[in-house]
């Protein structure tokens, strides 16, 4: 891999140029995966391992590109992992069960895919012995219900044992530890990234911005759990991809965990819904419904470490990101029948991970 470097006050702030690699992206058919494929395909060969339970890839046409190979399979199946990783020299591991409602419905599978699936991918990477970088996508959920300017060194929270809401976070935190253990004990050049509430074009699933925009463009009621006072920092997917490429290319990233988010783009869920209604020019009403499950009340990252070691700096502020995202959804709702945009008539939660 190569990078073009420039430095400000001793910190490299260049956009990484990653080329000449064969990269396995597990979960590559999903929202974040599709944006990584879009950014990396061409200068690199891309292998996608995914069961297509959430498909943001097909409608994009990216799977049809000659430098993209799709392996339909599951990280729970070691044979599928071995077949997909063969001849790859880089791994970006995104595959997991996502979406809070899905996690609550399927806590066993959430933990098994997180723990056993990630173990399968890590073991195969070590067995091959030539992986140049292993990037593990974790979650900001590891910080629990109240997280104000949290840094990577702050204490993480496991939640109440038996509460399905926290199984995703528990599994992700365990796999962070596992990846770092493989790095220290087996020499695997691993790095973990914790994204904070990612949004953008092609999002599928239960994310708040995805659902708010779709319903606003249809002039349908926007349903918010509880009073909408939950606070989030929203990160546009382009900035997350930039952070992942920095983690992939910077030598100093190995053996580290990084928060990737945009603390400047912070507001309540209620304010977010109002802003989306305004930008869309929508007639949607905002309604509040009770929701008795545990929720994250406050989540704002510190990105000091990512700035210092990676040169990461979010570039897309919330207003610009919302305008870009709304423009994409407007075009796809009106004219692209291949795009799997659906809110299933549900109220939505405050989380935006994919």
* For residue 349, pLDDT beyond 50: no
Structural tokens at position 66: 């000659």
| 154, 209 contact by CB (below 8 A) | no
CA 216 to chain centre: 24
Structural tokens at position 138: 């974790």
Query: What CATH number is given to the structural domain containing 174?
Result: 3.40.50.720
Q: Are strands 11-12 and 7-8 parallel, antiparallel or unpaired?
A: antiparallel
109-113, 201-205, 227-231: least confidently modelled range: 201-205
* For residue 140, pLDDT beyond 60: yes
Q: Answer whether residue 19 is part of any domain.
A: yes
| 276, 212 contact by CB (below 8 A) | yes
Q: Cα torsion for 20, 82, 102, 115, to the nearest 10°?
A: -100
Say whether 200 sits in a helix, a strand or coil.
coil
Q: Give the pLDDT of residue 109.
A: 94
Separation CA 46–CA 24 (nearest Å) = 6
Confidence of residue 98 (pLDDT cuts 50, 70, 90): confident
Active site residue 168: yes
| 30, 354 contact by CB (below 8 A) | yes
Q: What are phi and psi of 70, to 5 degrees?
A: -110, 125
| 306, 261 contact by CB (below 8 A) | no
Q: Answer whether residue 64 is part of any domain.
A: yes
Separation CA 233–CA 241 (nearest Å) = 17
Q: Give the pLDDT of residue 346.
A: 44
Judged on CB neighbours under 10 Å (0-12, 13-18, 19+), 281 is exposed
Q: Answer whether residue 194 is part of any domain.
A: yes
Confidence of residue 91 (pLDDT cuts 50, 70, 90): very high
- How do residues 156-167 score in pLDDT, each as one tens digit? 887 778 788 789
- How do residues 216-260 score in pLDDT, each as one tens digit? 999 999 999 899 999 999 999 999 999 999 999 999 999 999 999
Say whether 261 sits in a helix, a strand or coil.
coil
Structural tokens at position 20: 């000449």
Of the residues 146, 148, 168, 270, only one is catalytic, namely 168
Report how many domains make up the chain: 1
Q: Answer whether residue 307 is part of any domain.
A: no
* Residue 109 belongs to domain spanning: 7-198+235-260
Separation CA 251–CA 228 (nearest Å) = 41
Q: Answer whether residue 256 is part of any domain.
A: yes
Q: Answer whether residue 349 is part of any domain.
A: no
CA 326 to chain centre: 19
* For residue 123, pLDDT beyond 50: yes
Q: State mean pLDDT over 289-305.
A: 90
22-26, 81-85, 99-103, 177-181: least confidently modelled range: 99-103
Structural tokens at position 102: 């899905």
């Amino acid at each position: 891999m190569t990078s073009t470097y420039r430095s400000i006050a001793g910190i490299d702030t260049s956009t990484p140029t990653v080329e000449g690699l064969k990269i396995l992206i597990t979960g590559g058919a999903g929202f974040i995966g599709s944006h990584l494929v879009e950014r990396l395909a061409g200068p690199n060969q891309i292998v996608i391992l995914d069961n297509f339970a959430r498909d943001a890839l097909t409608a994009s046409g990216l799977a049809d590109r000659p430098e993209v190979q799709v392996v339909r399979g599951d990280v729970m199946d070691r044979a599928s992992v071995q077949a997909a990783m063969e001849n790859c020299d880089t791994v970006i591991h995104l595959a997991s069960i996502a979406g809070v409602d899905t996690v609550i419905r399927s806590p066993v599978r959430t933990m098994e895919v997180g723990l056993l699936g990630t173990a399968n991918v890590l073991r195969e990477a070590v067995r091959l012995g030539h992986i140049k970088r292993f990037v593990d996508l974790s979650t900001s959920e590891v910080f629990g219900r109240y997280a104000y300017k949290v840094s990577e060194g702050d204490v993480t929270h496991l939640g109440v044992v038996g509460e399905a809401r926290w199984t995703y976070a528990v599994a992700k935190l365990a796999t962070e530890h596992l990846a770092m253990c493989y790095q220290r004990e087996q020499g695997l050049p691993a790095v973990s990234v914790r994204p904070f509430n990612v949004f953008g074009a092609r999002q599928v699933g239960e994310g708040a911005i995805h659902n708010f925009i779709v319903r606003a463009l249809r002039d349908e009621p926007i349903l918010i759990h509880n009073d909408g006072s939950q606070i989030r920092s929203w990160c546009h997917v382009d900035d997350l991809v930039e952070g992942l490429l920095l983690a992939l290319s910077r030598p100093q990233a190995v053996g580290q965990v990084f928060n990737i988010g945009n603390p400047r783009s912070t507001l309540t869920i209620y304010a977010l819904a109002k802003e989306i209604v305004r930008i869309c020019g929508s007639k949607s009403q905002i309604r509040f419904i009770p929701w008795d499950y545990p929720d994250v009340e406050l989540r704002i990252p510190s990105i000091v470490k990512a700035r210092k070691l990676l040169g990461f700096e979010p570039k897309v502020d919330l207003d610009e990101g919302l305008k870009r995202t709304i423009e994409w959804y407007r075009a796809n709702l009106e004219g692209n029948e291949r795009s799997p945009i659906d809110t299933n008539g549900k109220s939505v939660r405050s989380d935006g991970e994919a």
